[in-house]
Structure 1
Amino acid sequence: MKLHGRSYDRDSLARLAGDLSAAGGVRSVVLDDGAERGIRTLEFRTGAGLSFDVLVDRAMDLGGAELDGAGFGWRSATGFRHPGLHEYRDDDGLSMMRSFSGLLLTAGLDHTLFGAEVDASQYRYPPRRTVSNGLHGRVANLPARLTGYGEQWQDDGRCVLWAEGEVRQAAIFGEHLRLTRRIEADLGGTEIRLIDRVRNAGFDPTPHMYLYHVNIGWPFLDEGAHYELPLRKTVWRSDSVAEQDISNTTMPPPVPGFVEQVYEHELEPDEHGLVRPRLVNERLGVFFELEYDTAQFPCFFQWMHLREGAYAVGFEPSTHHVQGETAARENGSMTFLEPGEERLYSTTFRVGRI
């Protein structure tokens, strides 16, 4: 691997430093102030300028993230709020907005997009005929059981920084879904690999929807930054697009009173089924790129929230279309996992210099 302009293997690094943390690694800490107090966090440093936090008590989502000190993981005014403060039914189903911050917020496991009250007859419990779901579901505010983390040398000479955990979303007379998440980054590298498995651990057919809300903030996002897509066609736009007439490719500075703009795009995959939408900041000479498999995430949303004080753009690969769960149930596209059935999602977050 390359570090600081030179190539190293395990032995040559060991000759220079008695602890791998001189080069990079994974460190476990607990946040200890304000609304963040008590959140277990894993700090990743790759030694190549990439650093990021894994919020163990927030579904092992990704919090702050930087390249050479320049942030790209969005920081909102909510901070990384402890899940114990979360009230799922608060704000008429929009409670997610009180804990919405960071590079990645995971949506699911049984519901994504706007709130919906849906049939729950498959659970065979007469007092609970329906399930009421809020914006983007429950999983992002569930703590994980941390099963391991550290640094592991591979046979090919790479050192992989890693963490694994399990998030359980379960209710009596309800769903029993488990998310097993592995996060990897190479020592000397500038990419984050996310490998997720969602399994129906219960004994009833269970709804499954999944979405990554990947959020890029300042300074990667700035006036003149370009949002680049392998665009085939745009299949849906929010009403605010026509009302505001603000470009979705070249970013303006923060806009007073901006109303979020959302697009659903159909993207053109390469020969392996992969797409790589990106944000490029030529002034800083940096880019952020998301690589995912369109067989796993057939839908993609572009989120623009360019308001003062909440300046962000989003990349949202999704299993279902923007109309949400009610529409998916009506048109037959809703996913139900049979007992023991699982889905795999493998995604790469990549940053670099142009």
Structure 2
Amino acid sequence: MEVTRNGPVLVLRGGDLCVHVRPGRGGRIDRLFHGPSGGFQPVFVSGTACRTPRPGDAFEEHDTCGLDDGFPTLLRETVELPDGPVVYPDHGEIWSTPMEWRQDGDALTLFMESRLLPYQYEKTLRLKRDCLHLHWRIRNTGRYAFPCLWTFHGLFRYSPDLRVRLPESDGNGALCTCANPRLGPEGTRLRRTSLLEHVPEPVPPTAEKFWLLGRVRQGRCALEYPAEGMAVVLTYDPAQLPYLGFWVTAGGFKGEYNCALEPSTGWYDSVDCARRQGCCPVLEPGQEQSFSMTIRVCPLTQAEKEAFA
């Protein structure tokens, strides 16, 4: 894998892919080009100028785009810890924190030490053929445990014909967590139907979010772009990332058009919500969380051969 620097962006090239990574923004992945298809690029690009965020900023005040990591929460909240209350920032701390980086052979590793909580954070990227391989390590370096959620907050392009491929889950349905005309009020329980596999029309503008009920049975989900003949497939260990959310805005949030498959360690969106459901991990002193994910960019026909039963 070749790594070059273009201003604030690291450009990774290997196999069929070219990936743009921004260390100054928590290792955000800005672009993901698939060369053999003629440059298919599924990552959402907002077009808003990128400015340097300050700790504690609201996520929506900045360029809401790219593939980010949400940790230790998604929703801003105050969490009581042994040394007193700590405010977990909106969409977590990683997206607004500059990272150091190093290249080790075919791997690019980004790393940082938190100023919010006692932990070290590391993300490693590798390219092979049509896949981006990602591995994360989070280690508690302090003397007390703290609750935390890790969520893959990857914003991909919206398309009216987009199809969402979701795994089966123990709850055999989903919970609507963002009121909207198509899915209903917040808190609506949704049956497992084709409704969840299709995104809303772009008129009128709308935004939706739901979480699958219970743990997923497969660590596999996908976005299919029929008009372009391409697909993006996420694979991971469901024991490590047992919960899955899905977000889509068709002009309903900041006038933007994107969507996100959100594999997560907890259910759902905040430490408080996850605690009430008994689904909130706690990172003990000296303990390390680690998990991996593969993002595959491939022709739709190839993805269909590996479709869910």
TM-score range, shorter chain: 0.7 to 0.9
Contact 2:216–2:243 (8 Å) recurs in 1: no
Q: Deviations over 1:34-55 (max 9, x none)?
A: xxxxxx321112252x221111
Alpha-carbon separation, structure 2, partners of 1:234 and 1:81: 39
Q: Do 1:278 and 1:290's aligned partners in 2 also have CA atoms closer than 8 Å? A: yes
> Which of the residues 272, 277, 283 maps onto 1:326?
272
Cα offset, 1:207, TM superposition: 2.5
Residues 215 and 313, structure 1, Cα contact 8 Å, conserved in 2: yes
- Where does residue 264 of structure 1 map in the other structure? 211
| Matched AA of 1:346 | S
Q: Does 1:307 align with 2:277?
A: no
Shift of 1:147: 2.5
Q: Quick check: 1:222–1:253 contact (8 Å CA) kept in 2?
A: no
Indicate yes or no: 2:308 matched with 1:341: no
In structure 1, how many angstroms separate the alpha carbons of the residues matched to 2:43 and 2:18? 10
Unmatched 5+ residue regions in structure 1? 1-23, 31-39, 124-128, 153-160
Q: Distance in 2 between matches of 1:41 and 1:339?
A: 34
- The correspondence for 1:137, drawn from 74, 87, 92, is 92
The 8 Å contact of residues 27 and 68 in structure 2, kept in 1 or not, is answered as: no
Quick check: 304-313 or 278-287, which moved more? 304-313
> Are 1:317 and 2:254 counterparts?
no
Per the TM alignment, residue 268 of structure 1 is displaced from its structure 2 partner at its CA by 4.8
Paired amino acid for 1:112 = T
| Change beyond 3 A, Cα 1:41–1:327 | same
Q: 1:350 to 1:131 in 2, by over 3 A?
A: same
Structure 1 residues 248 and 79: CA distance shift in structure 2, 3 A: farther
Counterpart in 2 of 1:96? 59
Partner of 2:21: 54
Unmatched segments (≥5 aa) in structure 2: 302-309
What do residues 136-168 of structure 1 show as CA deviations (whole Å, max 9, x unaligned)? 21111111111325xx4xxxxxxxx42012121
Shift of residue 180 of structure 1?
A: 1.4
- Cα drift, residue 106 of structure 1: 0.6
Match for 1:293: what amino acid? D
- How many residues were matched structurally? 283
- CA RMSD in angstroms, aligned pairs only: 2.5
Shift of 1:257: 2.9
Distance 1:52 1:209, change over 3 A: same
AA of the residue aligned to 1:276: R
* 1:275 corresponds to 2:219: yes
State the match for 1:25 in structure 2. Answer: 2
AA aligned opposite 1:86: R
* Residue in structure 2 matched with residue 148 of structure 1 by the alignment: 103
Q: Matched residues in 1 for 2:283 and 2:114: separation?
A: 14
User: Which residue does 1:20 correspond to in 2?
Assistant: none
Paired with 2:228 and 2:270, the residues of 1 have a C-alpha distance of 37
- Mapped contact 1:248–1:304 kept (Cα < 8 A): no
Q: Is the 8 A contact 2:149 2:270 kept in 1?
A: no
Map of 1:16 onto structure 2: none
Q: Which amino acid counterpart does residue 167 of structure 1 have in structure 2?
A: M
**Normalized against structure 2, the TM-score is what?**
0.83
What is the aligned counterpart of 1:117 among 78, 94, 108? Answer: 78
Q: Is residue 307 of structure 2 the alignment partner of residue 352 of structure 1? A: no
Tell me which structure has the larger Cα radius of gyration: 1
Q: Is the 8 A contact 1:63 1:101 kept in 2?
A: no
Q: How far does the alpha carbon of each residue in 1:203-251 deviate from its partner, in whole angstroms, 9 at most, with x for none?
A: 222232211112111xxx4221211112332231133222699944233
The equivalent residue for 1:226 is: 163
Counterpart CA distance in 2 for 1:205 and 1:254 is 44
Structure 2 residue identity aligned to 1:199: R
- Matching residue's letter, 1:168: E
Match of 1:45 in 2: 13
Q: Is the Cα–Cα contact under 8 Å of residues 234 and 263 in structure 1 kept in the other structure?
A: no
CA contact (8 A) 1:26 1:162 kept: no
